[in-house]
Amino acid sequence: MISSKMISAINEQINKELYSAYLYLSMQAWFADQNLDGMANWMNAQSKEEDFHAMKLFDYLIERGARVKLKAIADPTLDFENPLKAFQMALEHERYISKSINELMDLAIKEKDHATKSFLQWFIDEQVEEEASVDRIVNMLKMIGDHGHGLMMIDRELAQRSYSPEDEE
């Protein structure tokens, strides 16, 4: 039996994941406007991944016979100054999401909810990857500084990313 506290915490997390999708979509729009299509592509894939995270939580609540309650999604930031600032913001955001997932796990442990603990382990592992992939891009952007050629090279690399839910299994 899943507690009402756990249900409402997972509902909050659904909202955070949907906000993540919205934030990355906003970054996609900003990068497209800067003619950095590879970075825009990367953000599009990231946004889809966040939708997948939200739906994984959504489906879990339904599977447990709990009620999903969707809430309003906050306005995302619209302007990001430069590519480094945008990816730094993405990294900060992922750290915040990791903290939130850890708190969900703390609650599942406290409530001795073994099924939710087992379910959340996937998200704990996923957040390690999420932070590492954004951190790598932040470091590359720091290295190239104002070098236009380096920026183009990173943009070309990020154009290669695609997203498919099967990659998550």
* Residue 93 CB, nearest approach to ligand OFO (Å): 6
Between 44 and 151, name the residue whose CB sits nearer to ligand OFO: 44
Among 51, 87, 94, 138, binds ligand OFO (CB under 6 A): 94
The full length of the chain comes to 169
Window 16-75: residues binding ligand OFO (CB under 6 A): 17, 20, 50, 53
Among 130, 138, 151, 155, binds ligand OFO (CB under 6 A): 130
* Residue 77 CB, nearest approach to ligand OFO (Å): 14
Q: Which positions touch ligand OFO (CB under 6 A)?
A: 17, 20, 50, 53, 94, 97, 130
